[in-house]
Structure 1
Amino acid sequence: MSSSVYVEAQMLIRKPVEDVFEAFINPEVTTNFWFTKSTGKLEEGKTITWEWEMYGVKSEVKVHQVIPNQLIKTEWGEPSVHVDYEFKEMENGTLVVIKSFGFSQSGEELLKVINDNTGGFTTVLDGCKAYLEHGIKLNLIGDKFPSK
C-alpha cells in the first residue's frame, strides 16, 4: 500500500467558514457544484451514497469524523481511500484543503490515480468557489467528460 503518498488540493473561498463547511456536508448545496444526488447530510458514523447521474456512477461514503467548521474525515471510492476535508478560517474567507490518501495502487496505476484525484478535487473546489462566491453553477463535473 502506498500509505505515504497523498494528494492535496486547496482553495481560498471568500465566504465565512460556516457557509463553506455547510456546502460540503449539506447535499442541497453540494449538488450545485459536485455530485447530483445524495442520500443525506454527512454525519459522523453514517454511510451516505453520492451519485453522479450523468455518468451512471455511485459511491458509498463512510463518514468517520465531523468537527463542525473544521474537519470532515471520510472514506470512499473503489478501491476505497481516505479523503479529509479541512476548513481553516482566514481573514478574507475560508481555506479548504482536501487530502486523499491510503492508495493501494503502485507504479503507473498510482500515477494515474494521483492525477485523477488532483484534477477531480481541484475541479470540485473551483466549482464550489464559483457557486458560493458568485452564485454560478459552472457544471464543471458534468462537462469534464462530456459524452461524444
Structure 2
Amino acid sequence: MSSNIYVEAQMLIRKPIEDIFQAFINPEITTNFWFTKSSGILEEGKIVTWEWEMYGVKTNVKVLQVIPNQLIKTEWGEPSTNVDYEFKELEKGTLVIIKSYGFSQTREDLLKIINDNTGGFTTVLDGCKAYLEHGINLRLIEDKFPSK
C-alpha cells in the first residue's frame, strides 16, 4: 500500500532560516527559482494558484499549516498529494527538507511519480540555493523540459 511511501529531498542553504522561510511563502522570491506566477502568499487555510507559464500548467495549492520558520504543510497536484516543507536551523545555515506523500498511484505509475517528485523537488532546492546564496536565477525549471 502506498500510504506509507514518501519522497524526500533536502538541501543546506547557507542563509538565515527567516530568509529561507520567506523564499517559500512569498511568491515575489519563489518565482526566481520555481513557479513563474502565484495568486498570493502562502497563509494557513488559504488556497493559492501556482503557475508555470512556459508549460501552460497551473495547480491549486491548499495551505494546511504554517509554523513560521519551521514548517509549511500543503496539499496540491492532480491527483493531490501532501507536500511538507521543513526548515531546520543549523550552524552553517538552514536545512530545507521537502517531503511528498499520500500517493494514490500504484505500480509503474507510483514509480513514475516518485521519480518525478524526487527530481522535481531536488531541482527546486538547487535553484533556491543558487538564488539565495549567489543571487543567480539558473532557470532550472524552465530548462528542465525545453521546447523542441
Give the TM-score category using the shorter length.
over 0.9
What amino acid maps onto 2:104 in structure 1? S
What amino acid maps onto 1:124 in structure 2? V
Alpha-carbon separation, structure 1, partners of 2:57 and 2:2: 25
Alpha-carbon separation, structure 2, partners of 1:119 and 1:102: 18
Aligned partner of residue 72 in structure 2, secondary structure: strand
| Counterpart in the other structure of 1:122 | 122
Structure 2's unaligned 5+ residue stretches are none
Alpha-carbon separation, structure 2, partners of 1:137 and 1:67: 27
| TM-score, normalised by the number of residues in structure 1 | 0.99
| Counterpart in the other structure of 1:4 | 4
Question: Structure 1: which 4+ aligned runs deviate by more than 3 Å?
Answer: none
| Counterpart in the other structure of 1:137 | 137
Aligned partner of residue 62 in structure 1, secondary structure: strand
| Counterpart in the other structure of 2:73 | 73
| Counterpart in the other structure of 1:35 | 35
The number of equivalent residue pairs is 148
CA RMSD of aligned residues (A): 0.5
| TM-score, normalised by the number of residues in structure 2 | 0.99
Alpha-carbon separation, structure 1, partners of 2:45 and 2:105: 27
Alpha-carbon separation, structure 2, partners of 1:58 and 1:4: 27
Alpha-carbon separation, structure 2, partners of 1:107 and 1:43: 35
Structure 1's unaligned 5+ residue stretches are none
Alpha-carbon separation, structure 2, partners of 1:4 and 1:18: 31
| 1:14 has 2:14 as partner | yes
Name whichever structure is richer in strand by fraction: 1
What amino acid maps onto 1:143 in structure 2? D
| Counterpart in the other structure of 2:54 | 54
